[in-house]
Amino acid sequence: MGLSLTDVTVEYADLRAVDDVSLELTTGKVLAVLGPSGCGKSTLLRAVAGLEPVRHGTISFDGQDLADVPTHRRGFALMFQDGQLFGHLTVARNVAYALRLRRVPADRRAARVRELLDLVGLSGFEERLPATLSGGERQRVALARALAVEPRLLLLDEPLSALDTTLRGRLATDLRHILRVAGTTALLVTHDHEEAFTVADEMAVMRDGRIVQSGGLADVWRRPVDVETALFLGYARVLTGDAAGRVAAAAGLPAAAALAVRRSALVAAADVSLTGPLTGTVSGPLTGTVSAVRSTPEQLRLVVDLDGLGELDAVAPLDAHLAPGDPVVVRVDPTRVALLGRQSGVDATP
Amino acid sequence: MVRRHLALAGLALGPLVVLGVFFVVPVAGMVSRGFVVDGSLDVGGVLEVLARPRVHRVVWFTLWSAAAGTAASLLLGLPAAYALHRLDLPLRRGVRALLLVPFVLPTVVVGVAFRQLLGEAGPLGFLGLDGTPVAIVLGLTFFNTSVVIRAVGAAWEGLDPRPGEAAAALGATPLQVLRTVTLPALRPALVSAATVVFLFCATAFGVVLTLGGLRYSTIETEIYLLTTNLLDLQAAAALSVLQLVVIVVLLVLAQRLRATPDPTVQRALPRPRCPRRGDAAVLAATGLLLAFVLAPLLTLLAGSLRAGDAWSLANYRALGTTGDNQALLVPVTDALLNSLRTAVDATWMSLSVGLLVAVVVTRRSQTPSERRVRAGLDAVFMLPLGVSAVTLGFGFLVTLHSGVLDLRDSPLLVPIAQALVALPLVVRTLVPVLGGIDDRQRQAAASLGATPWRAVLTVDLPAVRRPLLAAAGFAFAVSLGEFGATSFLARDDRPTLPVVIFRLVGHPGELNYGMALAASVVLAGTTALVILAVERLRVPSVGAF
């Protein structure tokens, strides 16, 4: 049991924002709907919340059709991208908002607020006003507010997108932990695949109003359904034809018509045949020369011109001492490439 | 630094002189008449006035009728503000424009229209409301719902719907969302609207005079009666001071109430949504308001088209005459021309002063003291809003009669007074627009080599052109309908249309009354046309305070 969407369509005057979407979300799980901005994922979330009228299809929870249930009776909670805290209320009153609506006695209310602020790591913030909080703190308060009455379903609309990168990474981990501890069923929509991977158990990829792929995190990750999905999941490029076959073979994978490669899938090392034997290098069938080198704090990022394949991205350890023109051998990390589920025959470069 | 201050002082000087000569001096002159008797200060006499039982009655009536008018305006205005700004209704813009019209309708016209509606022969005569306080409150409400709709509607339109949605998702019913999220967010706009409406109700003149007669008097009409009929200047001055004090206290209180814990309001322009079942009550209330606004106007129109027991245009044809028994010195058509000419003069005056004030007030301040000075100037130029137009008009009569300021026979006297009445409205229309221009736009222009004037032409002028036009139309309409000050200042041989209407209503004779109705229709039609044109410019700050 849990949330169930069957053939849901949401239309605006001139636009079909959500097109025939079916999804299942089991109680206790977290499902991420991942898609680029404008793909209709927020509209989908708002439809589940009861804020957008559904044109066709049914949304039901635990077997109950929600068509005639207004937003405030659905027992869900919605958390917006920018928190949408009530600016005129203190942090404590924001968190206690839903408790007040349900006439929870003051002492139990105060205890629950303390407990929730503790959970999100904001003890002692009770009397602050939202305007005095940082973006991350505001999102934590919004999360505490949403969790206050233990909603049957928590709806998260890009909960971390408004934050800067480092904070986003940290909060994503916290969010996952908090959702696990509270045992919350949650539907998360985001355009950030890192966020989806950190927080969710299951994933659905949405494009142009349709769900193009759904399943467990690892399944989707290992086998993107098409080129666009692969690129959206963070694969750097998709190889087709001869190139796909040779790189797949180098990774020890069966021949593939289309192969998605992450930026770090190709690992380059100095060519042993020219510089003499080096310990620890892995020989492989791919060889070529370095075209460009750029240093990052963690590794060298290279562009290598592979014999018969053309220029591809690759990485090397920081101590590899490579310079443009150096010959290299390139090993392929099989965990960083994915066979495409459906071939689309396009060599897409991001 | 010094140059900045000199520039500020230079720009502010003109408007300040105008305000000083044509507002402070007349009002002070009028007030001092009451305090100085036979060359010596007589405070006791003034206090004695305030102890009179009639004065107590008048003050009490002013306060409760204004409070009732404010409450009724809010009650009727809020549902309409919501429906017309948040729901996707057919003819939304047309209805919005229509509901703005009452605000600029001449008070005398509204008085006449309500008497026509509620009088013994009127369609609602059976209610027996004619000449009762209820009629006065209805009249006040008729004017001021438009203020509520404009002021609150503008804020509501830009209100981000997502906090409300978050609350609904947390389990708040629509009413709870309204109470706990929407109304707190609208509080500044609500308080502003309520304050301004109370101010307008408490200083209403024409509508109270025509509907209340001598039985029900507010401070404003009492000042009029005391000065013109009873020649009791001392009492009039005492009441003027009392009114001024009450209004200043009110404005300060409102400023306090308006302060919210978090003044930053998230602005968004959500698209209006389709009405749902739950909106039925709101739509019904809006329909009721529409009926309430249309009923007096349609009754007025119907009445103007009746002569004897038949439909006829006789009343309109008679507008070229001076009425039965020589009720007037000049034909009504002359008065109309005179009104239009006066309104043109009043418009350019209020516009030029108002623009200067708006520029001075909205320039970026570099120091806290500079900011205080600008905020102070902003408040000072709102003063005409709070001072009785009657006091102003009478003050003109008693002070502007010597030396270079001997303007009593000047054709500019009436326009100057009307321009002062319209000035706060012009300033309030322009300030949000000029204040909304990001100063960095001007800095960008300057950094690209634009002179200050050139920067103004590039950045400010395009933004302010339409609001300026709208403010002009607004000032024109206000001037056309101005009655309080004009009733003192217009000479009998050069009356404006509202003055003529008031005179016709006061004269016996069926034709005179019919002419008053016809003239009211002409005046209402003219102001309505002007305001509908203004509405087409779609400047949100028009009529919002």
Give CA–CA dist B289/B76, Å, rounded: 6
Q: Is the dihedral of CA A91, A95, A99, A105 positive or negative?
A: negative
* CA B255 – CA B267 distance, rounded (Å): 22
At residue B227, the 3 state secondary structure works out as helix
Residues from chain A that touch B171, judged by Cβ atoms under 8 A, are 72-73, 75, 98, 101-102, 149
Interface check A133 vs B, CB under 8 A: no
Within 8 A by CB and 6+ apart from B122, the residues are B115, B116, B130, B299
Say yes or no: A72 contacts chain B, CB-CB below 8 A. Answer: yes
> B37: which strand partners?
B40
Our CA-based measurement puts residue A228 at a distance from the nearest CA of chain B, in whole angstroms, of 31
CB atoms closer than 10 angstroms to residue A295: 9
Task: Please check whether residue A253 touches B, CB under 8 A.
Answer: no
Q: Is A60 helix (H, G, I), strand (E, B) or coil?
A: strand
CA B389 – CA B385 distance, rounded (Å):
9
Bridge partners for A313 per DSSP: A303
Angle of helix B92-104 relative to helix B510-536, nearest 10 degrees?
A: 130
Q: Which of B167, B185, B261 sits opposite A97 (nearest CB)?
A: B167
Å between B196 CA and nearest CA of chain A: 24
Does the beta-carbon distance from A86 to B165 stay under 8 Å?
no
Partners of B310 in the β-ladder? B307
DSSP string, A150-194: --SEEEEESTTTTS-HHHHHHHHHHHHHHHHHHT--EEEEES-HH
Contact B165 A71 (CB under 8 A): yes
Query: What does the block give as tokens for B502?
Result: 């008031």
**Pairing mode of beta strands A186-190, A153-157:** parallel
Residues in CB range of B140: below 8 A, 6 or more apart = B65, B66, B68, B69, B72, B73, B200, B201, B204, B207
The pLDDT of residue B404 is 60
Query: From first to last of its 350 residues, what are the pLDDT tens digits of chain A?
Result: 789 999 999 988 778 889 999 999 999 899 999 998 888 898 999 899 888 888 889 999 998 998 888 888 888 888 888 888 888 889 999 999 888 888 889 999 999 999 889 888 888 898 998 888 888 889 889 989 988 888 899 999 988 887 777 778 888 888 888 888 888 899 999 998 888 888 999 999 999 999 999 998 888 888 888 888 898 888 888 888 888 888 888 888 887 788 888 888 888 888 765 544 444 434 456 888 898 989 888 888 989 888 878 888 888 888 888 888 888 888 888 888 888 875 444 444 43
Task: Report the predicted TM-score, pTM, of the whole model to 2 decimal places.
Answer: 0.77
Return d(Cα A202, Cα A217) in angstroms, integer.
5
Of the CA atoms within 13 Å of residue B243, those in its CB half-sphere come to 35
CA atoms in the 13 A half-sphere facing the CB of A293: 20
Which residue, among A287, A314, A284, has the nearest Cα to A299 in the 3D structure?
A: A314
| Cβ–Cβ below 8 Å for B184 and A101 | no
Residuewise pLDDT in 10s, chain B (545 residues): 567 677 777 778 888 888 888 888 888 887 777 777 777 777 777 788 888 888 888 889 888 999 999 999 999 999 998 888 888 888 887 888 888 888 777 788 888 888 888 887 777 777 777 778 888 899 899 988 988 888 888 788 878 888 888 898 888 888 888 888 888 888 888 888 888 888 888 888 888 888 876 678 888 888 888 877 787 777 888 888 888 888 778 777 777 776 655 545 555 566 777 777 778 888 888 888 888 888 888 888 888 887 777 787 777 777 777 767 676 777 878 888 888 888 999 999 999 998 888 888 877 777 777 777 777 777 777 777 767 777 888 788 777 766 566 666 777 788 888 888 888 888 878 887 787 777 777 777 777 777 777 777 778 888 888 888 888 888 898 888 888 888 878 877 788 888 888 888 777 777 778 888 888 888 888 888 888 887 777 666 665 55
Please tell me the distance from the alpha carbon of residue B423 to that of residue B381, in angstroms, as a whole number: 8
